Structure 1
Amino acid sequence: MPFLDRIIGNSLTIKYIKKMRIQEQIELGFTLLEMLVTLVIVGILVTMAVPSIHEFLRNNQLSSRTDKLISTFNFTRSEAITQNGLIYITAIAVDNWGEGWTIWVDQDGDGLLDNGLNDTEILHEVRFSGATTIKLQNDDFSAISLEAISLAQVDSSLKPKTLGYRGNAALAVTSPVQFNICDDRSNEKGRQIEIRITGRVAMVNNDDFQCQ
């Protein structure tokens, strides 16, 4: 009977469609659950990774500024050889080279860093922002007085924060100079560099050194 067959066929079709919809809902429900579980796991991993990323960035900043300081002294030394005369590096702050420095030539020999005037040639200037400190110190964090060891022919106001390279590539000091590069993390490994009297710059490998 065609009519009855059509009714039975329609009924089976409806049941099949309902079954498929239920199956889709079940599958969709599992998919959402899996997504939620995945999001939770990702959230946990991100939370665990953030401190590591932060530490990585801080360490990278220390390394970057250490490299910048080393390249600064190498550049100044090279310029002193090229010009066969004194080239100076003056820190922006007296007790912390971490804010930056100026590389300059004293054209008129008055020992003054006269910004913008013809008697001073600014070769390069570096400025930093952030919590990095770069100080002249010993391993025990006792300060090194540039006034006591520097032979730079500059005004007394600049002596505490100025180093100079001579035309023979030597550093104008009576003893080697050591810089400690740290940030605001205490008891963490910082960076150390030493500038020898010959003018050469070298990293210091000191396993006992920690920032304070």
Structure 2
Amino acid sequence: MFSRQFGLSAIEILMGFIIAGILITLGVPSYQFYRQNQRAATLSSDFVKALAYTRSEAVKRGTPVTMCAAGNAGFTSCGNAGNWGDGWIIFADPDGDGNIANQNDRLMTHAALRQGASITTTQPRITYAGSGFINAGAGVYNLTATGCTGNHGRQVSIANTGRATVTEVAC
């Protein structure tokens, strides 16, 4: 009598490897696309959350609160418009001049962005008045995550009313 054999032949195993290779080849670019999109979404989310926090603190305190590009690694002063990638500082700014008068006025800091990520704008700071409207810094902020290609960039537009909107843009 013939006994039944269990298992796979070499041809069946080889076909399985070929199919797995094809699926991996198709899946890797999709995964990279997903990661780029997630990096951009995370970066814009962090930035918009910081804006919302700045605005809510200004309204809560009834005085101006400023978010500015960090001027140094110690977050002790504001920098210029070109270095938002070095992180940012949120601080109470009662006189609304955009300068940190007292280190105790610092409310929050955000560390430098990953290498290759950037925030491009002409604005060195964003100041919300106690009413929640913008005193300074309304405009467009272009955010690009590390390894950005295609339409995975984000643009944050801040209206004079203080509202921020995010749109997808080319890198």
TM normalised by structure 1 equals: 0.64
Whether 1:97 and 2:84 are equivalent positions in the alignment is: yes
- Which residue pairs with 1:176 in the alignment? 138
User: Contact conserved, 1:106 with 1:120, CA < 8 A, in 2?
Assistant: no
Q: How big is the shift at 1:87? A: 0.8
Q: How many residues align?
A: 160
Alignment of 1:1-212 (within 5 A): 16=1, 19-20=2-3, 24=5, 28=7, 30=9, 32-92=10-70, 94=80, 95-106=82-93, 112-113=99-100, 119-127=103-111, 128-136=113-121, 144=122, 146=123, 161-173=124-136, 176-183=138-145, 184-185=147-148, 188-204=151-167, 209-211=169-171
Match for 1:103: what amino acid? I
Per-residue deviation, residues 8-39 of structure 1 (Å, max 9, x unmatched)? xxxxxxxx4xx53xx63xx5452x43222112
Q: How big is the shift at 1:133? A: 1.3
Partner-residue secondary structure (3-state), 1:125: strand
User: Contact conserved, 2:44 with 2:166, CA < 8 A, in 1?
Assistant: no
Distance 1:78 1:109, change over 3 A: closer
- Which residue pairs with 2:74 in the alignment? none
Higher strand proportion (structure 1 or 2):
2
Match for 1:178: what amino acid? V
Match for 2:107: what amino acid? L
User: Contact conserved, 1:171 with 1:197, CA < 8 A, in 2?
Assistant: yes
Distance 1:119 1:107, change over 3 A: farther
Distance 1:120 1:108 in 2: 15
Distance 2:140 2:106 in 1: 25
Distance 2:150 2:8 in 1: 51
User: Contact conserved, 1:107 with 1:121, CA < 8 A, in 2?
Assistant: no
Per-residue deviation, residues 32-85 of structure 1 (Å, max 9, x unmatched)? 432221122112211221111011111111011111111111111110011011
Higher relative contact order (CA 8 A, sep 6+): 2
Distance 1:109 1:170 in 2: 13
TM normalised by structure 2 equals: 0.77
What percent identity do the matched residue pairs reach? 26
User: For structure 1, which runs of at least 5 residues remain unmatched after alignment?
Assistant: 1-15, 137-143, 147-160
